[in-house]
Amino acid sequence: MHIPSGDTALLDLVPFDGALRAALAPSPDYDTTQWLYVPNYYGEYRYILGTRGEHPLICIGVNPSTAAPGDLDPTLKSVERVALHNGYDSFIMFNVYAQRATRPEDMERACNAALHAENMRAFDYALSLDKSGAPAVWAAWGAVIEKRDYLPRCVRDMIAVGEKRNARWFSAGKRTKAGHPHHPLYLRKDSPLDPFDVGAYLDALK
């Protein structure tokens, strides 16, 4: 369980570029040839957690919890299984908002613009890792997107970043009555990815 210590605006944020440089260097804590973990330590926010490959499936949740390299929670284990079943050689767990909180109810009430900006730089980097030129983005946030009113706005910024990288959006499993994409937990490992019009989805949100 991770409960935020306070608003991220009070933190001295590590910019994504600097955090990435540190994450690419050898680490005594995990194999950096296998894992991408940015920042490369446990803290109040996380930009990226995933495995290395040339054709990753980028899964988008709402916000990070406690997972770390070699210590995946049930949600990330499901993400990895679905990615491998659908022909991807790796996965990246990304989030609409980078603040770490096991319970979405504990997320900060206002969006930290500085943290969001660094998270968008991280998203652009994650998209750049796919060598096909058309990275796959799996929307998987469920109804949790309703927890904070700034979250859909963050997703719109992600769409704009993705358009420059020719990103293709998908969902997996049955969507909710409100149209939210299914959360990865409890999905069958052989769940296929279905095309997802994320822009139309956001337009339909009340």
pLDDT at 100: 97
User: Is the overall model pTM greater than 0.85, yes or no?
Assistant: yes
Encode pLDDT of 2-24 as tens digits.
999 999 999 999 999 999 999 99
Give the integer Cα–Cα distance in Å for 161 and 78: 26
pLDDT at 13: 96
Give the integer Cα–Cα distance in Å for 137 and 11: 29
Residue located via tokens 């949740």: 61
pLDDT at 205: 87
Rounded to the nearest integer, the mean pLDDT of the chain is 96
pLDDT at 206: 67
Task: Give the contacts of 175 (CB within 8 A, at least 6 positions apart).
Answer: 181, 182
For residue 192, pLDDT over 80 is answered with yes
pLDDT at 34: 97
ω into 39 cis (within 30 of 0): yes
Give the integer Cα–Cα distance in Å for 20 and 168: 24
